Amino acid sequence: MTDAPGARDSVDMRLRRGARPATSHPHPATAGHPTVLTGATVVLPTGTVEDGRLTIDGTRITGTAPENAQAVDLTGHWLIPGFVDIHNHGGGGASFTSGSVEDILKGIHTHRLHGTTTLVASTVTGDMDFLTQRAGLLSELAEQGEIAGIHFEGPFISPCRKGAHSEALLRDPDPAEVRKLIDAARGRATMVTLATELPGGIDSVRLLAEHGVIAAIGHTDATYEQTVEAIDAGATVATHLFNAMPPLGHRSPGPIAALLEDDRITVELINDGTHLHPAALQLAFHRAGADRVAFITDAMDAAGFGDGRYWLGPLEVEVAEGVARLLTDGTIAGSTLTLDRAFKRAVTVDGLSVEDAVTALSATPARLLGMDDRIGSLEPGKDADLVLLDADYELKGVMRRGEWLVGPQLH
């Protein structure tokens, strides 16, 4: 696929005007005023506080409330940090891989309405010229603060574990081509997923590490030993652990065992009830711990939008009952997950504590991105990014940088 006609001109014009995705109007209780949120159960890095207080002044959380602060009573609700999604291909009917800038902003906004206040935009496999063009467009949105960076998933992945990627466009991870993508992203490349056992894989991992870009092992057919070699070379993330890699074996443990056992690795998990059996999620979570798990969506266009026919890169996808599959062979093709659903499932189905779910959805991915000085927890000095949930863990409010994008819906 190619960019929509005029997409590059469109992003240039919009960014010159300082355009932002459409949002709802700020809630009148917070618009332009310091605000104290009271009464909620607040999840802090130091523990959970009943009948807590959180002060918002402008775009930040502050330690003390000025005299003119207005109070908002959130009794009966949970107040947790905004979600951080490090692996997301789109939503709201829009694709980060092939859409225009307006499409991309629509997808970002869709996920914000579900609590994802920080998002890394992921691409899928394409030819190199196309991917470098997309890198340039997405880097401008990163510079404007709309996304936290760019994740390149493919084309440097194994044809044996390609998942919903076009086999015709796959290639070995030549360090020169990996460098071409990094350069095209102009300092906004966050992560590259690659099959490190392929020719050039280990050298590419070293290159990424030298440039401060996360090397993620995924869509891989690596052995246990090859995975250990990649970790020692600098890989630090497992792209959607269990999916698109050899299963765990008792004689050939493969990449899963190597990725789970090494404290240097953060493992992505797609907690939608389709990608993972609950027992697999429990195995990963309890072996790695909340500090090494990042719940992701791996969302495609249909997230927050509905069933139907879509495109994922050059491949056609059918979404039925919320599950995305390739038309050609039924392979799972990303997800329709939003992180508010992942959070609720983690607590109500998987039996995780609220505190551990918050860590996996906010603190761990924020730290992985090197942004934990600004996001990922509710602390003075950090961005006022937060999610409001009711007693049943249903989303009732979303604040991003001090502005309510949703709610608060208190009745």
Q: Looking at 359-394, list the stretches that DSSP marks H as alpha helix, in order from N- to C-terminal side.
A: 364-368
What tokens appear for 338 in the block? Answer: 């939003």
Long-range contacts of 15-21 (CB under 8 A, 24+ apart): 15/140, 15/141, 15/143, 15/144, 18/144, 19/105, 20/105, 20/146, 21/105, 21/106, 21/108, 21/109, 21/112, 21/146
> Is residue 155 within 8 Å of residue 165, measured between CB atoms?
yes
> Is residue 91 within 8 Å of residue 305, measured between CB atoms?
yes
| Burial call 271-302: b when 16+ CB within 10 Å, e when fewer | bbbbbbeeebbebbbeebebebbbbbbbbbbb
Is there a catalytic annotation at residue 385?
no
Q: DSSP 3-state assignment of 96?
A: coil
Q: Give residue 304's identity as a one-letter amino acid code.
A: G
Residue among 103, 272, 298, 356 flagged as catalytic: 298
Using CB atoms within 10 A of its CB, is residue 212 exposed (0-12), middle (13-18) or buried (19+)? exposed
What tokens appear for 222 in the block? Answer: 């690596």
Place of tokens 């070293």: 206
Q: What is the layout of strands, in order, in the sheet containing 53-57?
A: 60-62, 53-57, 35-38, 70-73
**CA 29, CA 408: separation in Å to the nearest integer?**
10
Catalytic (active-site) positions: 298
